Amino acid sequence: MLFEQVLGQHHLKKHLTTTIQMGRVPHAQLFVGPEGSGTLAMAIAYAQYLLCGNKGDENEGGNAECNIKCANLTHPDLHFAFPVSNSDKVKSHAVSDYYLAEWRQFVKEQPYGNLFDWYRTIGIEKKQGQIGVDEAQDIVKKLTLKSYEGGYKVLIMWMAEKMNTSAANKLLKLIEEPPHKTVLLLIAEDEEQLINTIRSRCQLLQFGPLPEPIIAERLLAEGATQDEANRYAHEANGNYNKALDLLHKDSEDLVFERWFVQWVRTAFKAKGNKSAIHELLLWSDEVSKTGREVQKKFLLYCLSIIRQALLINYSAKELVYTHINVDGFALEKFAPFVHENNVENMTKELEDAMLHVERNGNSKLIFTDLSIKLTRLLHSKAN
């Protein structure tokens, strides 16, 4: 992965190349950015620049053989850690090394992919992956060995917020005092989920969402028409992975749209209509049969729609990027039912449901309770 292949984030590219050129490479760095902003792609490009002695902002020059190894993610001094779980392939004590072939294919095909894309790749979409203590032991063992090629050793830990407390505590000393020429690059979407002792030991680099023109330009190269590129870049809201999903009609949002509209229509029928309660139960049952990562993504989608509806209700349409493609449903008609009297409680109920899903609560009970509470809130009146 070369810097020229990473979308946007030019100021961060300049910063990273400058630290290497000046010989001031921090031993532990935390790349934080939303999905689709390019944190993983940037980390791999930075590692390649560091390991191969490349020159210039576009990874020019350097060791050709080294660049080939890094491009194939097979460089012996480039290590990866990412969330995993036991599966049909790995029956117990799953660690990243058991999934390296799948990881290389995933990064090659979806360098901007999200956690659910990865879980789907290794067949654990109905589980919750983690970076556990077995992984931490492997990392310590790898990084305490000498560099294979005599230069830097680099560890890229993707979705570091999935590291459990035992693993984090085991890595504290390594992160604080790593061996000579060892660089740890932690990547996270939500730094608040990392324990403070980890965050305080890393230099933070904050990635912002990608600008629409940059996403649109890349979509054109992917075969989109100008109209499609502009529309999907806007709907993606800075997330290149979502823009690609929209282009290829492979977005989970298409399913989430249907679920959301189904709930809203049933909720409006529920007032004074007992039969609608049965429909809410059927809706809850359908959503609860999916994996927990899908459920969490759906709840995040609902939060996003609620916020977008509130913006419409308060005449801030220029900030609205969501478009729902279900026939007969208009976000503008739904917006008046999201207002100052219910938006805070609706947000709280969705966030509480997400917490309960993460803690392995009974999904059917969680979504049944949520659907009934949100239905009541939807019928509350504005001032």
**C-alpha count within 13 angstroms, C-beta hemisphere, residue 226:** 0
pLDDT at 29: 94
**Cα–Cα distance measured from residue 203 to residue 30, given in angstroms and rounded to the nearest whole number:** 6
pLDDT at 61: 57
For residue 48, which of 26, 69, 23 has the smallest C-alpha distance?
69
CA torsion sign, 64 to 66 to 68 to 71? negative
Q: Give the residue, 73 or 248, on which the prediction is more confident.
A: 73
pLDDT at 149: 83
pLDDT at 251: 67
Q: Give the residue, 21 or 327, on which the prediction is more confident.
A: 21
Predicted confidence band of residue 55 (pLDDT cuts 50, 70, 90)? low
| Cβ partners under 8 Å of residue 260, min gap 6 | 301, 302, 305, 324
State how far Cα 80 lies from the chain centre.
17
SS3 category, 151 = coil
pLDDT at 58: 54
pLDDT at 62: 64
Average pLDDT over residues 71-89: 91
pLDDT at 205: 94
Provide the strand spans (E) within the chain: 28-32, 78-81, 153-157, 182-188, 203-206
pLDDT digits (tens, 9 = 90+) for 260-293: 888 888 888 876 677 777 888 888 888 888 888 8
pLDDT at 334: 86
Residue 381 is classified by DSSP as P
pLDDT digits (tens, 9 = 90+) for 310-352: 888 888 877 777 777 777 788 888 888 888 888 899 999 999 9
pLDDT at 56: 53
pLDDT at 57: 53
Percentage of the chain exceeding pLDDT 70 = 96
Average pLDDT over residues 300-319: 86
- Provide Rg for the chain, Cα atoms: 23
Average pLDDT over residues 96-115: 92
Average pLDDT over residues 82-101: 90
State yes or no: pLDDT of 60 exceeds 70: no
Lowest average pLDDT, out of 55-59, 77-81, 97-101, 182-186, goes to 55-59
Average pLDDT over residues 361-369: 90
Count the neighbouring beta carbons within 10 Å of the beta carbon of residue 25. Answer: 17
Predicted confidence band of residue 30 (pLDDT cuts 50, 70, 90)? very high
Strands 28-32 and 78-81: unpaired
pLDDT at 104: 94
Identity at 19, one-letter amino acid code: T
Residues 163, 186 contacting (CB under 8 angstroms): no
State yes or no: pLDDT of 59 exceeds 60: no
Terminal C-alpha separation, the chain: 54
Average pLDDT over residues 212-236: 89
pLDDT at 124: 83
Residues in the chain: 383
State yes or no: pLDDT of 39 exceeds 90: yes
pLDDT at 65: 86
State yes or no: pLDDT of 224 exceeds 70: yes
pLDDT digits (tens, 9 = 90+) for 173-218: 999 889 999 999 999 998 898 999 999 999 999 999 999 999 999 9
